[in-house]
Structure 1
């Protein structure tokens, strides 16, 4: 398994902030290295029952312990939100679904 992607975590800006008047999500922590793959059609149907959302599996070597609501992969314009997570002893995994474009 190759960890070649960069993931940046974000918090949504729910209240007005004069320093961020356009309401863009606020980065949380530093970008981390991850392994990102598509969930796949069959597995997406088994777990969620629909194919309406592009879902990815994000695997991290080290757990990300700060609170977050969205993430972006490799500085793309697409934000993904958490749908479910798995936290075994070694590699944390998150299944995320597409939420919005910048």
Structure 2
């Protein structure tokens, strides 16, 4: 298995809502930058896991788990944000099932 994708994990903990300006202030903070293996979830597996075909779902495999708290990740400096759906930690690697962030937290 090749770990040929750069996975960046970000935290939004410093981001606060300012009622005076009616907007969020602060930004995302990079908490980890690791190499990983990324594959798409197929249509039949998506139907089994979610009960319907969900687009934009990927499986991210890492050598070691990320110990820090993170809100979303990006793959290969893409502007698309992915949020965690579920994670498994088998004997050797870590698998994270992520979906595209569509504006819901």
TM-score band w.r.t. shorter chain:
0.7 to 0.9
Tell me the CA shift for residue 50 of structure 1.
Answer: 2.4
How many residues matched?
97
Match of 1:98 among 94, 97, 100: 100
1:55-94 matched pairs, under 5 angstroms: 55-94=57-96
What TM-score do you get using the length of structure 2 for normalisation?
0.81
- Indicate whether 1:12 and 2:15 are aligned: no
1:34-53 matched pairs, under 5 angstroms: 34-53=36-55
Q: Which moved more, 1:77-86 or 1:50-59?
A: 50-59
Tell me the CA shift for residue 100 of structure 1.
Answer: 4.2
Kindly indicate whether the alpha-carbon contact (under 8 Å) linking 2:11 and 2:29 is maintained by their aligned counterparts in 1: yes
Structure 1 segments (4+ residues) deviating >6 Å: none
CA distance in 2, matches of 1:89, 1:74: 26
Q: CA RMSD in A?
A: 2.1
1:45-93 deviations in Å (ceiling 9; x for gaps): 1001223441000000122111111100000000000001111121000
What TM-score do you get using the length of structure 1 for normalisation?
0.83
Q: Which has the larger radius of gyration?
A: 2
Q: Which residue does 1:32 correspond to in 2?
A: 34
Structure 2: segments with no counterpart, 5+ residues: 19-23
